Amino acid sequence: MEVAPILEEWEELREDYKKLECANVEYLKKLKELNGAQQQCLKHIQHQRYRMQVMAKTLRKLKKNKESSEKIKEMEDNLLKREAELQTIEERLPKKGSVYLKLILGDIDVSFLSKDEKFKYKDDYEKFKLINHVIAVVANVAMLYTSCRAIEILYLGFLVWYYCTITIKEAILRANGSRIKGWWRLHHILSTISSGILLIWPENEPWRQFREQFIWYNLYSCFVTYLQFKYQRGALYRLKALGERDNMDITIEGFHSWMWRGLTFLLPFLFIGYLFQLIHAVVLYKLSYHPEATWQVLTTSILFFVFFLGNTVTTILVVPEKIKQKVMFSYKVMTRRVYNVLSDTVRSGGRTTTNGIQK
Ligand code: COA
């Protein structure tokens, strides 16, 4: 064994390391440039929004005075289009996490800069919910056929963990431009609390009386979650296809008719679930007068009533909101297509594609 070849190899490696150092310097420079560009975009967006707000205010005043309505309509349309454009640009910019995320994860950037990463995260979130509901079905069937307290404790502990996890995932999705309504996020935070309360509810007579009804409700809500999964995943893949400029398989009209069909199928099942929640609230309220009842009974009754109210109102409001936002949705899809062309152009450095689009 001689040391000379190793020394020679070390020299070679030293040369390679110099290349790595250069690449790293280049990387840090680009990172700084990227940071600067992101801040520039954010500043421009803020500026656009500020001026648009002032213009919208003036338009409202003009409308009250019944002045040239044709031009006003055109301007309102322009503002709506621009808002859709701003939202599309914002989708690719870093965002600060909510206070909730900051408390849990600290002050870190949770944004995904590529659309594919975002899509994958949302898809994983939907799959995560489904897989956990399959586990819940197994646990509930086991609880239905046995009266083993250990399974109950394990299941309720699992629910606390599950709801806690999805609130974090939803906060990350929200930070990345998802339009999840505040109620659904609050619903999942309240579900974490209610699962915690159920976990420490002692095994007394009110629990034994409520238990079976609770298990059937869980099984039903697992079934509804499966239907929701089919709908949300279908929407996710169709929206992705809609944003792709070359995709001719789906149109905005096609997406809307699919969505309404999906919603009209899903809504009756959702409302049956909400009725279940109302029944729970009433049954638990009556049970709260039982001599053995502890504070958990009345608290759970109140929480189920809150779920019933919040879910019913939010779901009823989905329909008129979707009708109202139809124009905005079309603008967003169109701007997404345009931005996809632009990002392809940047990536290819201005070459022409095989389908003839000038890049
Ligand atoms: N939980 C998490 N995310 C939800 C959600 C929910 N319950 N409802 C909607 N979202 C998300 C959507 O995926 C969408 O995300 P995106 O912006 O990242 O694409 C965003 O919120 C906006 O959705 P929206 O357009 O308002 O509604 P939708 O068409 O996606 O879904 C419903 C409408 C009614 C089907 C849906 O809200 C739903 O399933 N609600 C019922 C939930 C429930 O009651 N669960 C308990 C069952 S017993």
Q: Is the CB of 227 under 6 A from ligand 1?
A: no
Phi, psi of 59 (to 5 degrees): -60, -40
| Confidence tier at 164 by pLDDT (50, 70, 90) | very high
Tokens 């809307």 correspond to what residue? 256
pLDDT of residue 68: 67
Residue partners of 348: CB distance under 8 A and separation at least 6: 359
Give the Cα separation of 329 and 356 in Å (integer): 28
Q: Is the CB of 328 under 6 A from ligand 1?
A: no
| Confidence tier at 100 by pLDDT (50, 70, 90) | confident
Q: Is the CB of 309 under 6 A from ligand 1?
A: no
Interior angle at CA 101, CA 98 and CA 106, nearest 5:
115
pLDDT of residue 343: 64
| Confidence tier at 356 by pLDDT (50, 70, 90) | very low
pLDDT of residue 352: 41
Asked if the model's pLDDT at residue 243 lies above 90, the reply is no
Quote the ligand 1 centre to 180 CA distance (angstroms).
7
Give the Cα separation of 166 and 169 in Å (integer): 5
pLDDT of residue 344: 62
| Confidence tier at 211 by pLDDT (50, 70, 90) | very high
Q: Is the CB of 232 under 6 A from ligand 1?
A: yes
Quote the ligand 1 centre to 229 CA distance (angstroms).
10
Residue partners of 270: CB distance under 8 A and separation at least 6: 224, 311, 315
Give the Cα separation of 37 and 43 in Å (integer): 10
pLDDT of residue 341: 66
pLDDT of residue 321: 87
Give SS3 for 96.
strand
Q: Which amino acid residue places its CA nearest to atom 6 of ligand 1?
A: 184
Convert the pLDDT of each residue in 57-79 to its tens digit.
998 888 877 666 778 888 988 99
Locate all alpha helices (DSSP H) within 113-148, ordered by sequence: 115-145
Mean pLDDT of 36-59: 94
Check: CB of residue 167 under 8 Å from CB of residue 188: yes
Q: Is the CB of 335 under 6 A from ligand 1?
A: no
Asked if the model's pLDDT at residue 198 lies above 90, the reply is yes
What average pLDDT does the structure give for the chain?
88
Mean pLDDT of 323-346: 72
* The two three-digit tokens of residue 12, written as one number: 């070679």
Quote the ligand 1 centre to 271 CA distance (angstroms).
14
Q: Which amino acid residue places its CA nearest to atom 26 of ligand 1?
A: 318
pLDDT of residue 244: 65
Quote the ligand 1 centre to 56 CA distance (angstroms).
30
| Confidence tier at 94 by pLDDT (50, 70, 90) | confident
| Confidence tier at 176 by pLDDT (50, 70, 90) | confident
pLDDT of residue 171: 92
Convert the pLDDT of each residue in 246-301 to its tens digit.
555 677 778 888 889 999 999 999 999 999 999 999 999 999 999 999 999 999 99
Ligand 1 nearest atom to the CA of residue 221, by list position: 48
* Beta bridge partner(s), residue 109: 96
Using a cut of 0.75, tell me whether the model's pTM lies above it. yes
pLDDT of residue 359: 30
